[in-house]
Amino acid sequence: MAEHLTTTIKSEIQEVSISRDLPTIIIGERINPTGRKKLQEELKKGNFDTVSRDAIAQVEAGAAILDVNAGVPRADEPALLVEMIKHILAITDVPLCIDTANVAALEAALKLYPGKALVNSVNGEENKLEAILPLIKEYGAAVIGLTMDDDGIPKTVQKRLDIARKIIERATKIGIPLEDIVIDPLALSMGAEEGAGKIALKSIQAISKEFGVNITMGCSNISFGIPDREAINATFMGMAICCGLTCPITNPLKEQVHMAILAADLCMGRDEFATNWIGAYRKRKK
């Protein structure tokens, strides 16, 4: 089994360490206009009030890193992403995860960012590897690698493991440290594919065992199209952490999901004297 690695993400002031030997790190997913028409309209008008509220609320709820996405249709994404990051940096010190498929937007954001960002993301597609990995190296960022390639999202654990290996080999070949590569084995909806949850969990196990890298995942995807999603997401989250998930991209404002993360850490021996669990309990009671 590979050694557990530690990925360090930094803002100008704060440093966050991600490791299987430490409590789970929550990457807050809320600053994303996808499917949020009101937020899209605000951003088109240069209004960042919701972005600011979401940033503060997620940090208060336990997010250690904030994912920032500026994917508004027909918007100038590089300019918008830079403005969003400026507003977030003005109100919080937590590190950021820069979430864009636009290479120009990514470079503009990395030029601006004052610390060591996490980039969401690259995948096994040749054009993505060639365009994004050199930027990760140049700016000293860490990167999320999605286990999909030119053939799409694989349906087998072995194929996802193979794509993870390809991303890792290409990244380390140009000098990106292994600990700066975080793999996302991808969670698909169990409403569309009954084995999606099992494949995701087994992929987490296989990749973490083979490479020791940290694992992220948009865990809420697993319940898309199914009723009572929060209960499903919470259960899946706890199981995924047991399998090796270290830094889920999720909504910390969902209390049941956040409690599942804290409980999983407690059960895995990553919460000394139940300090985090008791602290969260007292905060809820207040």
Residue 1 resides in a domain: no
Residue 181 resides in a domain: yes
pLDDT one-digit tens code per residue, 53-112:
999 999 999 999 999 999 999 999 999 999 999 999 999 999 999 999 999 999 999 999
β partners of residue 145: 122, 183
Residue 195 resides in a domain: yes
Residue 116 resides in a domain: yes
Asked if pLDDT for residue 1 goes beyond 60, the answer is no
Given the structure tokens 């557990």, which residue do they identify? 4
User: How high is the pLDDT of residue 286?
Assistant: 84
Domain count, the chain: 1
Asked if pLDDT for residue 3 goes beyond 90, the answer is no
Residue 188 resides in a domain: yes
Q: What is the pTM of this model?
A: 0.97
Length of the chain: 286
Select from 193, 96, 211 the least CA-distant residue to 147.
Answer: 211
Q: Could you tell me the residue range of the domain that residue 105 belongs to?
A: 8-285
Q: How far apart are the first and last CA of the chain?
A: 43
pLDDT one-digit tens code per residue, 112-165:
999 999 999 999 999 999 999 999 999 999 999 999 999 999 999 999 999 999
Q: How confident is the model at residue 173 (pLDDT cuts 50, 70, 90)?
A: very high
User: How high is the pLDDT of residue 227?
Assistant: 96
| CATH classification at residue 166 | 3.20.20.20
Sheet with 65-69, side-by-side order of all strands:
214-215, 181-184, 142-146, 118-123, 96-99, 65-69, 27-31, 249-250
For residue 52, count other CB atoms closer than 10 A to its CB: 17
Please state, rounded to an integer, the average pLDDT across all residues of the chain. Answer: 96
Residue 3 resides in a domain: no
Residue 2 resides in a domain: no
- Sign of the torsion formed by the C-alpha atoms of 203, 206, 211 and 215: positive
CA 73 to chain centre: 22
Residue 171 resides in a domain: yes
